[in-house]
């Protein structure tokens, strides 16, 4: 299996949507801009958000197995993907790429 690197490329926060729709929560997301994780054997790295991991896992599995070229040329690097977590209030964008 190929080794994968995940890098946090964008962290957004929509305070207006939170105020209108979300019940206050004390702790939601630990991801920091530029933070990176190494994935070996499709195992979730320590510190990775469970929800974000579930969203990106299909891409990670495909890349780990040597696949890529998602959606017929979507990414400039065919062995990569840009995936965002499913938090509509504070989405985080992750760049996933094969490194070995």
The predicted structure's pLDDT at residue 88: 93
Note if the pTM is more than 0.85.
yes
Predicted local confidence at residue 24, as pLDDT: 85
Number of domains in the chain: 1
Name the residue range of residue 10's domain: 4-98
Q: Is a pLDDT exceeding 90 seen at residue 11?
A: yes
In this structure, the strands spanning 4-11 and 80-84 are unpaired
Residue 74 to residue 82: CA distance in whole angstroms: 10
How would residue 92 be classed by pLDDT, with cut points 50, 70 and 90?
very high
């Amino acid at each position: 299996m190929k080794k994968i690197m995940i890098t946090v490329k964008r962290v957004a926060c929509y305070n207006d949507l939170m105020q209108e729709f979300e019940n206050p929560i004390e702790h939601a997301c630990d991801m920091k801009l530029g933070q990176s994780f190494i994935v070996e054997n499709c195992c979730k790295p320590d510190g990775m958000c469970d929800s974000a991991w579930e969203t990106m896992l299909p891409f990670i599995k495909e890349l780990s197995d040597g696949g890529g070229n998602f959606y017929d040329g979507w990414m400039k690097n065919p062995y990569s993907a840009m995936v965002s977590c499913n938090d509509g209030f504070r989405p985080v964008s992750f760049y996933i790429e094969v490194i070995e």
